[in-house]
A = this chain, B = another copy of it.
Amino acid sequence: MTKNYSSEIASPLSSNHEDYLKAIYILEARGEQVTNSVLSDYIGFTPASATNMVKKLSQMDLVIYRPHQAVSLTPTGRRVALEILRHHRLLELFLHKTLDIPWDSVHEEAERLEHVISEALEDAIAASLGYPKVDPHGDPIPTKTGEVGHTPGHPLSQAKAGRAYRLVRVLSQEKERLAYLGRLGLSLNVELFLREQAPFDGPVLVEVAGVEHALAAEMAALLQVVPASAK
């Protein structure tokens, strides 16, 4: 497997290494302080294991580690994380568009594939999709050079009642949640009409394809929308 970061990294990285880097990237991007417990929670290993791995990544110059401090990525570490994320999101879109894999299943599939595709395959996939900018959840696909586009939109929970919106991003990869949204007729770029916005973080009333649904506030907060008129 040829990686475009192979030139700067001594030893080849395992899927595991890549998962840690990706996790750190995602947690950082969420604006969280990537403490050991946050990281170990996210990746599903014990805190001791996380410390261990972080130290190793630090020796490889992929992360910056100072005991008892939040970890962060070095420029190289970030490049690796973004390459994996690019693989992941390209794969999600590819699986969805080319093989009709439902949007609530593409995440777990891509989770394994992202570590084993070559540069050539990555390129072929990107080309076949016409160099897309976002995956089926609206998450931006990093470019080969590591730029991450800014996604427009704001949470549906902050939208105004009585207006039409378009769904541009779902901030969740959970199968159940996505399957539920799918059942409501919601998927990327679908239009919806916000009927009512209950106060005090109450549920939201939306109309999708002529049918009305109540959405928990928690769910509405995960739906990023733009006014329906907007491109």
Measured CB to CB, the residues of A under 8 A from B are: 1, 95, 98-101, 105, 108-109, 112-113, 115-118, 120-121, 124-125, 128
Contacts and interface: CB of A to CB of B under 8 A. Distances in A.
Contacts of A95: 121, 124
A99 B118 CA distance: 13
Contact of A128 (B98, B116, B124): B98
Given A105-B120, A120-B105, A128 B99 contact: yes
A95 to B, nearest CB: 7
4 shortest A-B CB distances, which residue pairs? A112-B116, A99-B124, A109-B121, A99-B128
16 contacts: A95-B121, A95-B124, A98-B98, A99-B121, A99-B128, A100-B124, A101-B120, A101-B121, A101-B124, A105-B120, A109-B118, A112-B116, A113-B113, A113-B116, A115-B116, A116-B116
A228 B99 CA distance: 35
Contacts of A99: 121, 124-125, 128
For this chain, the copies found in one complex come to 2
Contacts of A105: 120
Contacts of A1: 112
Contacts of A116: 112-113, 115-116
Nearest to A121: B109
Contact of A113 (B98, B101, B117, B120): B117
A13 to B, nearest CB: 14
Contacts of A113: 113, 116-117
A100 B125 CA distance: 10
A96 to B, nearest CB: 11
A73 B152 CA distance: 56
A69 to B, nearest CB: 35
A112 to B, nearest CB: 4
A53 to B, nearest CB: 19
